[in-house]
Structure 1
Amino acid sequence: MRVGVIGAGPTGLVLGIALARRGHEVTLVDRDPGPEPDGAWRRKGVMQFHHAHVMRTHAVHVVRAEVPEAYDEWLELGAEPALAGDQMVAIKAQRETYERGLRTVAMRERGVTIRRGHVDGVLVSDGRAAGLLVDGRPLNGDLVVEAAGRSSRATDALGARESIGGSCGIAYVDRVYRLHAGAEPGPMTTPFTFAAAYDGYLAILAPHEHGIFSLIVVRRTDDKELARLRHDELWDRACAAIPGISDWTDPERSQPVTSALAGGNLLNVYRSQRAPDGRLLLPGLVSVGDAVCTTTPIYARGVALAMLQVSRLLQLLDAHGVDADTAVEEFADWCAAAMRPWVIEHMAIDTGLARRWAGEDVFADHHLPGDLVLAAGAQNPAIGDIAGPWVSMDGGPESLEPARALAREVYATGWRPPYADGPTRDELVALLG
């Protein structure tokens, strides 16, 4: 089978390599030329390539199952497993390191071609996908995979899809640092992050390889005062005032390696494989990764959700052999059942967060978002035990339902989660001047 893949990011690379190893001929098309001769890789047009990332367990395990050499490449590049006891819960690596390791394997994989170009659209013959139009030239294929992320427009001409979601109501600014040689890391609140909820904003820090770490400050989208954190001087002033963060960013301990970076329009969006009338958008076409499911970065689920999709699609293609259409039909149903609920959950989390920062009391809402359910575990430890699969993504949002019932009981008493020790949003704004 000839497979044309739109996009050579992590989703396209893992799927492309895995399909080639199953005997298929795969061409990945991407506008990016890859790393330059000096090793630098700017990856223009892919905002998240340069921003904070956490590579959760599923982002690692699926790759180790399908492309084990990539894991070795990550370790060679300096990536470090994050452990909880003797169990790996994440890998400490920048998005660039994660993608570079995959691309290195793909470049030498027989049956995989990475072609630089712009996809003008999908070729259609006899009512099904027949390949891609790349820079005005046809690239014939038996299966087309859309893996170019949420911003891809290559399939728009095929018509509307069933979809939900949109802008999430929160935004962030982040910055990348490196620890000085011999400097010890700062405090952590989980095995792979420092995360704290303050009155009016969040701060989340993720260690990477070679002493590099990323810090993001999350705010309401309409909070123009905290948006000024994109200015380095004001960012430094804020970091020095936030406990925990100040330890990491102390000039005696680390130094910035980028300026403050403003995150783009953050979305929670689910796009089905199907048109609004329920039929497949186009037989022979399948969307994977962020093209299906986009969630905000607070819980760092993006790459993990993409890899879960890759794993499921490969299982279905293996099961149905040459009958790719049946595999895509079943994959569409699986995405609706397994991916759509994550988007709905994150819509609730982000909407609730923005409303609480605006002063609303949303704790009596019928559907408690996952972050409030977890917070209630401070009062009822049984909640934390139940919520484990939701946190690790071994269970979907539905696995949290028993814990939601217990959390409602906690909030009915009038208890509310305390904020972390640090300046409130208004105090931080006053500090910025």
Structure 2
Amino acid sequence: METAIAGAGPTGLFTAIALARRGHRVTVVDRDGGPAADGSWPRRGVMQFHHPHGVRQQVVDALEAEMPDVRDALAAAGAETSIVPAANGRPAMAIGLRCRRSLLERVLREAALAQDGVTLVRGHVDDVLRSRGRAAGLRVDGRELRAGLVVNASGRAGHLADDLRAPGESADCGLAYVSRHYALRPGAEPGPVNNPIGLMSRFPGYLAAVFLQDDRTVSVLIARLSSDRELAGLRAPAAFEAAVRLVPGLDAWTAPARSEPISPVLPGGHLHNSYRGQRDERGRVGLPGLVHLGDTVCTTNPTGGRGIATSLLQTRRFVRALGTDAEAATLELDAWCAERIRPWFDDHRAWDRDQVRQLAGEDVDLDRPLTSGHIVAAAERDPSLMRVVGPYLSMTALPATLAEVEPAARAMYASGWRPPVPDGPSRDDLAALVRRTVAVTV
């Protein structure tokens, strides 16, 4: 089948390779032309491309099932397996890869370029072609690209075929962040960690994190309330570097003797959780032969590291269901996403609301069920809860499973226990630092 894919991010590239290996002839269209001759790749229009990423085991499983050669190429390029050590009778467990998104996309792109049956085209997708009530391809820069199957993998900012779906749901995460990549110097030992991903600390009024990435690189991040205009000044290099010198943990990783910056200071955009199915307002597939995948269906707060995982879970489901009836496969995908993907949107929406309240200084509300963030924090105090919390964190169990241990976590909070707050500068301390180092004009 001739297939046209709008978008050459992880979802579009993975889908192209998987379909080509099933006999499809696939054309992938993207405005970005790929890495420059000198190896640089700005990837304009994809805000999250250079920010920290966690590549979960669901992504690894998808690669190993559909294209193990790509998994091997990632390892050869420096991606490392992230391992949870053995504990309490449980064996050590792989939970994903330490890998920058830029590396993942480079390797996927190289595989797509080398794949028989896949063609990458640079251009702007204007619209979906329609003929006799079915998708008939894409209009690219005013020209027609004919295809019997069209995949919309245009990403979270895409609006392709908006008129063919019922309106989605969206919720402001309430958070914004700024990050920078660093590389460890030759012979330098890694800095402190407190989880398999790296380091995550909640200070009064902000979050600080270090994500372990590939080839001895790390991404350092500070997240704030999106309404906090003063801390928006951390996007200025002088302010960011001054801040990471003050925050415990970040100071160790970014010490000049240990590492050096290898990227600019990168401000993140306004973050939203969103979910949108395949059907139109009549409950039907809006245009048979057109399927929406990846961030066009679901986006979640990137601090959870679930975006690429939920995207490739969708893609695997669709390509396995796809036979001669694309509409039937799309309906099956839609029902499956409502059961298996939407719960992560609902979970983030509730968790983010609570996280915003916490960062604003509010206490946990015991008059309503605890959200997952509070339950996860309680498991640090009572490791027996990890029997249920662990599968949730690894995305092998849905958020609803946390209900089993919610009463135990609630009792902990009702007793007066609260997660310990690490020593370090407060939000006001960072705001004062920003005022000293840069004029905030946001």
CA contact (8 A) 1:90 1:192 kept: no
Aligned with 1:201 (options 195, 206, 211): 206
Aligned match of 2:110: 104
The answer to whether structure 1 residue 298 and structure 2 residue 296 are counterparts is no
SS in structure 2 at match of 1:186: coil
Structure 2: where are the runs of 5+ without partners? 86-91, 437-442
Aligned match of 1:233: 238
Q: CA deviation at 1:430?
A: 2.9
> Where do residues 2-17 of structure 1 align in structure 2 (5 Å cutoff)?
2-17=2-17
What is the CA deviation profile of residues 199-220 of structure 1, one whole-angstrom value per residue up to 9, with x for unaligned ones?
1111111122222110111110
CA distance in 1, matches of 2:145, 2:367: 51
Aligned with 1:386 (options 385, 388, 391): 388
- Of 395-404 and 341-350, more deviation after overlay is shown by 395-404
Aligned with 2:399 (options 397, 400, 405): 397
CA contact (8 A) 2:204 2:361 kept: no
- Aligned residues, how many? 429
The answer to whether structure 1 residue 368 and structure 2 residue 370 are counterparts is yes
CA contact (8 A) 2:173 2:273 kept: yes
The answer to whether structure 1 residue 322 and structure 2 residue 328 are counterparts is no
The answer to whether structure 1 residue 145 and structure 2 residue 145 are counterparts is no
What is the CA deviation profile of residues 109-142 of structure 1, one whole-angstrom value per residue up to 9, with x for unaligned ones?
1111111111110011121211111111111111
The answer to whether structure 1 residue 135 and structure 2 residue 141 are counterparts is yes
Aligned match of 1:421: 423
The answer to whether structure 1 residue 211 and structure 2 residue 216 are counterparts is yes
CA distance in 1, matches of 2:111, 2:207: 37
SS in structure 2 at match of 1:28: strand
Aligned with 1:269 (options 271, 274, 280): 274
- Of 354-363 and 42-51, more deviation after overlay is shown by 354-363
Q: CA deviation at 1:186?
A: 0.2
- Which letter maps to 1:113? T
Q: CA deviation at 1:231?
A: 1.1
- Which letter maps to 2:406? R
State TM-score, norm by structure 2.
0.94
Q: CA deviation at 1:341?
A: 1.2
Aligned match of 1:351: 353
CA distance in 1, matches of 2:337, 2:134: 21
Runs of 4+ aligned structure 1 residues displaced above 6 Å come to none
CA distance in 1, matches of 2:433, 2:42: 34
CA contact (8 A) 1:363 1:411 kept: no
CA distance in 2, matches of 1:189, 1:162: 40
CA distance in 1, matches of 2:432, 2:124: 47
CA distance in 1, matches of 2:137, 2:293: 16
Q: CA deviation at 1:365?
A: 4.6
CA distance in 1, matches of 2:367, 2:106: 44
The answer to whether structure 1 residue 35 and structure 2 residue 35 are counterparts is yes
CA distance in 2, matches of 1:412, 1:267: 31
Q: CA deviation at 1:224?
A: 1.1
- Of 115-124 and 367-376, more deviation after overlay is shown by 367-376
Q: CA deviation at 1:412?
A: 2.1
Aligned match of 1:287: 292
SS in structure 1 at match of 2:405: helix
RMSD: 1.5
- Of 27-36 and 412-421, more deviation after overlay is shown by 412-421
Identity within the alignment, %: 45
SS in structure 1 at match of 2:364: coil
Q: 1:276 to 1:409 in 2, by over 3 A?
A: farther
What is the CA deviation profile of residues 253-308 of structure 1, one whole-angstrom value per residue up to 9, with x for unaligned ones?
11111222110111100111112332222221111111111011111111111111
CA distance in 1, matches of 2:367, 2:43: 42
Aligned match of 2:439: none
SS in structure 2 at match of 1:272: coil
Q: CA deviation at 1:159?
A: 4.0
> Where do residues 118-133 of structure 1 align in structure 2 (5 Å cutoff)?
118-133=124-139
Aligned match of 2:251: 246
What is the CA deviation profile of residues 206-250 of structure 1, one whole-angstrom value per residue up to 9, with x for unaligned ones?
122222110111110011121111111111221111111111011
CA contact (8 A) 1:82 1:88 kept: yes
Aligned with 2:344 (options 330, 342, 345): 342
CA distance in 2, matches of 1:251, 1:431: 20
Q: CA deviation at 1:78?
A: 1.6
CA contact (8 A) 1:50 1:96 kept: yes
CA contact (8 A) 1:162 1:274 kept: no
Aligned match of 2:440: none
CA distance in 2, matches of 1:382, 1:78: 35
Aligned match of 2:88: none
Q: CA deviation at 1:160?
A: 4.5
Aligned match of 2:97: 91
Q: 1:367 to 1:280 in 2, by over 3 A?
A: farther
> Where do residues 404-415 of structure 1 align in structure 2 (5 Å cutoff)?
404-415=406-417
> Where do residues 156-171 of structure 1 align in structure 2 (5 Å cutoff)?
156=162, 158-171=163-176
CA contact (8 A) 2:321 2:332 kept: yes
Q: CA deviation at 1:165?
A: 1.7
Aligned with 2:379 (options 371, 377, 380): 377
Aligned match of 1:76: 76
CA distance in 2, matches of 1:3, 1:371: 41
Q: CA deviation at 1:40?
A: 2.0
